[in-house]
Amino acid sequence: MHSLAPGSDGQQEEHGDQEGEFESYSNLGTQREMLEDEVRTKAFRDAIFQACQGQVVLEVGCGTGILAVFAAQAGALKVIAVEASPDMAEHAQEVVEHNGCAEVVSVVTGYVEDVAEEVDTLLEEANLDLKVGVLISEWMGFMLVCEGMFPSVAFARDRWLMEGGCMIPQVCKVCAAPFSHQQLIDRMTEYWKSRPYGVDLSCLACEALSQFLTQPVIEVVHETLAPATELLILDCSKATAEDVEDQCVSFECSISQAGPFHGFAVWFTCELLPGISFSTGPETVPTHWSQTLLFLSPGSEAFSLGVLPGNSIRGELYWAVRGGGIIVKLLGTVFRETGNDENESDAEPFALPSRPPAPIQFERLLGMSLL
């Protein structure tokens, strides 16, 4: 479990965010966490071996170079692997050479937008027509969009992918559901309630929880209160940078599981190729993305509100991606219809029906960054 720091805005901060991401992604510990995510890595390997034989392949954001090596092993004619982090590009070159793929794989250092001429030159030198048949990128971040990398993928697609070419992944969906996570709340408050050193600090428990939950929390949630609702369907072959960077989506959820309402869990699914997909949702094997938990304010009327089957939650989720961070606004209303009372048949013959409780509104603003 971890909580992410608020993001920043503006062009200067955006470049600073990207430099900070280099420090994270050039760390082999971070790379190992992604490689050990077998749900992610095996799905990409399966898709690459199905799509890349006899193809010219471009990868945006190659990391350790493992996907480029997969493409070479699958029989690609040429693989151009672009990596913005200089340290990571050096590691990728080592991996490519160590696995005997240097004649097929060329590692290019820099943002794909900045090294476009170098990519063109490599395609020309290979007697190719400045187009690629397969474009690969593992660009997905928390809540799918947090890393802000899709604009670079869209740039590469529009410049080099041939008509009818293959993108991996092809379609991504953002999903959400209301959740209950009393165990996490108890973990975040139990120390303050434990009388450390014989001093009662329980008066600080609520404020400590509030401070922690001002940022989205990345953790697996084991219980949702309603089935998932799709917030966004992203066709990677057509989507623009704006489709990912700024969105306002509506949702409506019908409660199916009784429990205290703590917020919304957000995750995504990826279809890499038809028949090859994975989910980062709570119903599947956990991935390194876990779920992004958007907690309501602990001081709000809706936080920990008991909901029952038949209740509903309607509202909107807005996000704005800025560099390696995201600002999220969640607002909505909980409708607690009373439904059919099991003792209704015993009521007075002319008794007035009971009124449902008043709807409860909520609004929450959160921010997070990869830094």
Q: Are 174 and 266 in contact (CB under 8 A)?
A: yes
Residue with tokens 């939650």: 313
Residue of 138, 326, 145 whose CA lies nearest to 232? 145
Tokens 């439904």 — which residue?
339
Nearest to 104 by CA among 66, 127, 77: 77
- Burial (0-12, 13-18, 19+ Cβ within 10 Å), 13: middle
* Cβ burial, residue 242 (10 Å; 0-12/13-18/19+): exposed
Is 252 tagged catalytic?
Answer: no
Alpha-carbon span 40 to 106, nearest angstrom = 24
Q: Of residues 14, 147, 219, 271, which has the active-site annotation?
A: 147
Contact 57, 71 (CB under 8 A): yes
On whether the CB atoms of residues 135 and 178 are closer than 8 A, the answer is no
Q: Name 232's bridge partners.
A: 174
Alpha-carbon radius of gyration of the chain: 24
Instruction: Provide φ and ψ at 230, rounded to 5°.
Output: -80, 125
d(CA 371, CA 20): 6
CA dihedral 369, 150, 40, 161 (to 10 degrees): -160
Query: Do residues 96 and 73 touch, judged by C-beta distance below 8 A?
Result: no
Residues whose CB falls within 8 Å of the CB of residue 359, separated by 6 or more in sequence, listed in order: 333, 334, 335, 336
**Cα 130–chain centre separation:** 32
Angle between helices 86-98 and 11-25 (to 10 degrees): 40
Q: Is 147 noted as a catalytic residue in this protein? A: yes
CA 311 to chain centre: 28
Check 21, 138, 219, 271 and give the catalytic one.
138
Provide the annotated active-site residues.
138, 147
